[in-house]
Chains A and B, each alone.
Chain A
Amino acid sequence: MASGVLVIGEATADGQLHPVTGELIGAGVRLGDPVTVAVLGSGIDGLGEKAGAFGANKVILVDDPILADGLGDAIVPAAERVAKEVDPAVILIGQTMMGREIAPRLAQRLGTAVAMDCVGLDKQGDKLVAERPCFGGNARARYTINGTPQIATVRVKALEAPEPGASSAEIVKQAAGVDASAVRTKLVNRRKEQAEGIRLEDAKSVVGGGRGVGGPEGFQSLEELAGILNGAVGASRAVCDLGWYPVAAQIGLTGKVVTPDLYIAVGISGASQHMAGISSVKNIAAVNKDPDASIFKASRWAVVSDWKEFLPAFIEEVKKVRAA
């Protein structure tokens, strides 16, 4: 009979254990079942102890060059094979690029379903109860799944990772067992858009600009602030539609979901479209000259001011603190 939790772990581009893997192991431990982690990647030797340190009972390192390109056609059958070997009651996957790619396909291959982008997990009897935002973060839905295993992907940083301790996990290494002919989609090339800077999804601080910034030149000030905070700049859809800032930085329902520790909203009104992208950010500081801007309702700190006056003063104050 299917039992326990299988976490599908992953490595970052620079070969570290992805932080979400620790968060998923913590979630598995809290569900009260033995946790097996399968880390899928290429050249991931050494990540076994790191995964074990978060409290997993067993780590399966699926280390195989066929996984190097990160293609779904290779990762899906590799994950499917592990899932059939481990036969878990629950599978947890990060809501990362990899998770978005593989979770629905894995669910279909295993004849079950997945609740995507969950922010809360609970158990009622044998049933996983998965809570997730929907309708652009305006609503929350709770799901149970008919079928085994019950699969959920979990939003990065939505759950807390345990403090790493000494690993007592059994570590097993194996190949993916995927035939090259299964990989129908081929990688032609891959290129980075920006060599410098911190990725929006990884940044601990994000400075977001809206239509109130008034034009593309205003974003230089936002970039200066983000630079000092070691963070990244994001933008609302209106800004990207107007061509003031690259669409790659768009935050919102039809853009990216970000989870920084601090979000500084500059000239952002707080439309539903944008709020969908920051719905799990706890610390929002908003600057807007309109005291009735709806962004203030979701903000911990509200600064009613013209950003053109406030931001230069704020940048100077942050610099002083940083220098001290």
Chain B
Amino acid sequence: MPHIICLVKQVPDPETPASQFKVDEAAKKVIPAPGVQPTPSQFDTIGVEAALRIKDKSPDTTITILSLGPDSFRDSIKHSLAMGADEGVHINDPAVNEADQWVTAEVLAAAVQKLAPYDLVIAGRQSTDWDMGVVGSTIAEILGVPVATLAKDVQLDGGQVTVERVLLDGFETVQAPTPAVVTVSNELGEPRYPQLRQIMMAAKKEVKNWTLADLGISTPAARLNLEALFIPDTSVETEVIEGETAQEKAQKLVQRLQEAKLI
């Protein structure tokens, strides 16, 4: 009975138009855009999709959704359960709900150990809020298990995971013994979207609530200090290329690009 643990977090919708994106510089926090709902981090739902493809082939697979964050993160767990995962674990503890990536990895690794035995931990290649891309690999190091990053295909078979990884100019296939950690990239493909019936079924699936006390750990020490958060000045002086015809505009743009030594 394979057991896969998928890590899922909730993020401000990255499709929010830049004009509505605001930060509170003093609090060093993003101000949620009015009327824009947070969503599960995009790469994380791709990770759930990767697990579900394994379950499609081996229906005896159990998929546990593991999340660390405040109350609102429950929506992302529920979304993953509606996609087809079996059970959820929500670590909701004010001591670590806004922790840095290393504290997050420590706590999640402790939770993975409590959920053992497991075959795979699947995470997104990065979150789509802080975009760091470190939690999956760090958990693998803490657990002392192999990791394969940037997966576009994941096959689990007899104590071994085979991962097709995305490279700059192609792909490579790697194999590692399980248990292992895999992080997935967008090349894996679109995650399935829950149907109404699945959403109703997911309401009945269990989500356990854990705190650090349940994990038997104290608050890990922060390693990264956020000193400032601000919106960069990206305004550029825009020249509108004028011209009566497309050809005139084309000539003018070519001239500008030549002046800037770009062609």
Contacts and interface: CB of A to CB of B under 8 A. Distances in A.
A135 B12 contact: yes
Interface stretch (A29-37, A58-66, A215-223, A268-276): A268-276
B141 A109 contact: yes
B1 interface: no
A125 to B, nearest CB: 13
Interface stretch (A2-10, A165-173, A309-317): A309-317
Interface stretch (A40-48, A82-90, A186-194): A186-194
Interface residues of B, number: 83
Given A187-B174, A193-B169, A241-B190, A135 B30 contact: yes
B262 A283 contact: yes
A64 to B, nearest CB: 19
B140 interface: yes
B217 interface: no
B214 interface: no
Interface string B187-213: 100100000000000000000000000
A302 B241 contact: yes
Interface in A65-94: 71-73
Bin chain A's interface residue count.
35 or more
Determine chain A's interface SS by DSSP, over half rule.
Answer: mixed
Interface string A278-300: 01000111000000001011111
A100 interface: yes
A190 B172 contact: yes
Contact of B249 (A71, A147, A262, A305): A305
A186 B175 CA distance: 5
Interface in A172-211: 184-194, 199, 201, 205
Given A185-B148, A283-B260, A303-B249, A113 B224 contact: yes
B134 A129 contact: no
B30 A139 contact: yes
Contacts of A57: none
A279 B174 contact: no
Contacts of B130: 134-135, 141
Contact of A129 (B129, B168, B227): B227
Contact of B229 (A141, A201, A298, A310): A141
A136 interface: yes
A299 B237 CA distance: 8
A114 interface: yes
B65 to A, nearest CB: 20
A199 B228 contact: no
Contacts of B246: 305-306, 309-310, 312-314
30 contacts: A101-B137, A104-B137, A104-B138, A105-B140, A107-B102, A107-B138, A108-B105, A134-B132, A134-B229, A135-B12, A135-B14, A135-B131, A142-B229, A145-B223, A185-B146, A186-B174, A186-B175, A190-B167, A191-B170, A199-B169, A271-B15, A275-B18, A294-B17, A296-B238, A296-B240, A301-B241, A305-B249, A313-B245, A313-B250, A318-B254
Given A279-B234, A298-B234, 12 more contacts: A101-B149, A104-B141, A108-B105, A108-B137, A108-B141, A139-B30, A141-B226, A253-B14, A254-B128, A294-B19, A296-B240, A304-B240
Interface of A: 13, 71-73, 97, 100-101, 103-105, 107-109, 112-117, 129, 133-136, 138-147, 184-194, 199, 201, 205, 229, 241, 247-248, 250, 253-255, 261-262, 271-273, 275-276, 279, 283-285, 294, 296-306, 309-310, 312-314, 316-318, 321-322
